[in-house]
Amino acid sequence: MEPREYQIMYGAEKSHWWYEGMAGIIRTVLNTHYRPGSNLRILDAGCGPGAVMGLLSEYGDVTGFDMSPHATRLSRTRGHQRLAIASAMAIPFADETFDLVTSLDVLYFVNVQDSVVLMEIARVLVPRGRLILRVPAFDWLRGIHDIKVSTGHR
């Protein structure tokens, strides 16, 4: 992904309708299963600039990682400290470490092997842990942003 796209996302995550809408959906899903203050151990796999980590922190301790050092730097500016630079195809945490894993808009990149990522997520989840997974839909929505972020498939 082009570093400039992370900067654009960072600026838009708190006010753009799409990001606000997605945050509302995630909050609704979380509130179906958990209450704020649930002391969950949460992993944001592919955290990008970190806005979702703030929302997730209402439910427990959040750790995030992204392949991009630029993305993790932006995440740190939001106050997040538990961050790693890593690939979702080789998650750098022990088996059965997290109660909840989020992977938002990761399983579509050109060089990401979906089955490998899903096996890694299953490995780090505790038994009966949960995954919130979001992927882009509808190839007809493909646009310039897809080119800049290296979309492989929708």
Fold of 3-148: Rossmann fold (3.40.50)
Kindly state the tokens that stand for 140: 């007809």
What is the pLDDT, as a whole number, of residue 6?
83
What is the pLDDT, as a whole number, of residue 106?
75
Any idea where the domains of the chain sit in the sequence?
A: 3-148
- Among candidate residues 29, 103, 13, the one with its CA nearest the CA of residue 64: 103
Q: What pTM, to 2 d.p., does this model score?
A: 0.85
What is the pLDDT, as a whole number, of residue 62?
98
What is the pLDDT, as a whole number, of residue 14?
86
Identify the segments of the chain with pLDDT beneath 70. 1, 107-110, 112, 137-154
**Nearest 5°: phi and psi at 84?**
-140, 155
What is the pLDDT, as a whole number, of residue 112?
59
What is the pLDDT, as a whole number, of residue 16?
87
Q: Count CA within 13 A, CB hemisphere, residue 88.
A: 30
What is the pLDDT, as a whole number, of residue 141?
59
DSSP letters, 48-108, are: TTSHHHHHHTTTEEEEEEES-HHHHHHHHHTT---EEE--TTS--S-TT-EEEEEEES-TT
